[in-house]
Amino acid sequence: MNSSRILSLSSQLSYTTLNTPVISPITQTPLLARYASSARGPIRPAKVTNNPTWIKKLKLRWRKMDDDPVARKRFAMAVIAFYMITGFFGFQYLQDTKYRATGEANPYKPMDGSSADSTTKAAGTESAPGIVEPRDTTDVYESLAKEYDDKIWLEELTSYIWWTRRRLMRAVEGDALEVSCGTGRNIKYLDPKKVNSITYLDSSPAMLEVTKEKFEKRFPNYKNVQYVKGRAEDLVAIAAKSGQKFNTIFESFGLCSHEDPAKALQNFRQLLKPNGRIVLLEHGRSTYASVNERMDRTAEKRAQEWGCRWNLDIDHIVKSSGLQIVDEGRYHFGSTYFYILKAA
C-alpha cells in the first residue's frame, strides 16, 4: 500500500470520527444532542453549605448523648418516669370511669369546700395533723446547695415544672426581687430586657453563690444585679437600709420553706411599688384526698431531705393575706399553685 493511499484512508477515518456523534450506552441518545437540547447556560457547581439541617443536628446530638453513659442513664430514667406518670394518669382515669359506672363514692375525686377533710381545712393554721412544725431550714439548703440541681432536675423535667417556671418569669419586669432564689433555677427563663434591676435573696450563702455563678455565666454584661443573704421574714428590715422597693417580687417553691409564710407575704406587700405585683409558684395541699394522704405520710421525711413543708394549704395562706388575686392556676392534681397578686 503506497503512502498516498494510507494518507487518504487516515483522513477518511478522522473525518468519520469527528463528525459522527458518540452514542450513550445507557440512553442510546447522542450525547452532543442531549447536551445541546438541554443546555440553557453554563454549568455551575451546586452550592455546598456547612449549615446542617435541624434533623442532622438532632442526629448529631443523639449520637453524642449515646456515647455518654451518664446521659444515657438520665434519658432512660426520664423515659421510665414518663411511663410511670402516664400510668398514674391512666389509673386515675380508670378509677373515675369505674365509680361513675357503679355510682359508688370516689375517694380520688377532687374535694369541694363542703367535703374537704379536716386536715386540709386546718392546714393553713399549721396546727393540723401531718403538718410539720415550722423551723429555720437554712442548714438543710446549705448542705444541699452543691448537689441540689443534680437531685431535682429529673423530677422537674417529668412533672413539667420547667413550663410553670417559664410562666412565672413571663410576669417579671421592672425592678425585680426573687425571694428564696435557691440555686437560680429561674435564671434561664429571665428576660433581661424586661427588668431594670434584679435582686436575689436567700438565707443560704451556698445557694446564693450558685445563683451568682449561673447569672454571671448567662448574663456576663448585666450590671444591675445584687445578691443579698437573708430570710423572707426579715425582708422589710433588710430593705429598710436602702429604702428600695420593687415592681415585681417573685418566688418559686419558697412559702413552704419559710418559718412564717404569712409574715413573708406581708413583707412582700410592704416592699411593692405602686401597681407592683407578687408572682408565686408554690406547692402544697392537693384537691385530691388520696394525694393529701400520701403527702401527709411523707411530710416529715420531705422536710428533713428538702427543707420544705409540702403539705401546707397554700391557697388558705394566700387568701388570708389580704392580697388581691389578679391571676391564679392549679396544676398536678391541685398541688402546684400559681398566683399573681397585688396590694388590695
User: Phi, psi (5° rounding) for residue 157?
Assistant: -65, -50
Question: What gap in Å lies between CA 180 and CA 257, rounded to an integer?
Answer: 9
Question: What gap in Å lies between CA 85 and CA 159, rounded to an integer?
Answer: 8
| pLDDT tens for each residue of the chain, 344 residues long | 555 554 454 555 444 444 555 444 544 545 444 444 454 556 666 555 566 777 777 777 777 766 777 777 787 788 888 877 777 767 666 666 665 566 665 555 554 444 444 344 444 445 566 788 988 999 999 999 999 999 998 888 888 899 999 999 999 999 999 999 999 999 999 999 999 999 999 999 999 999 999 999 999 999 999 999 999 999 999 998 889 999 999 999 999 999 999 999 999 999 999 999 999 999 999 988 888 999 999 999 999 999 999 999 999 999 999 999 999 999 988 999 999 999 98
CB atoms within 10 A of CB 75: 14
Q: Has domain 118-342 been given CATH number 3.30.530.20?
A: no
Question: What gap in Å lies between CA 61 and CA 129, rounded to an integer?
Answer: 49
Parse the chain into domains and list their residue ranges: 66-109, 118-342
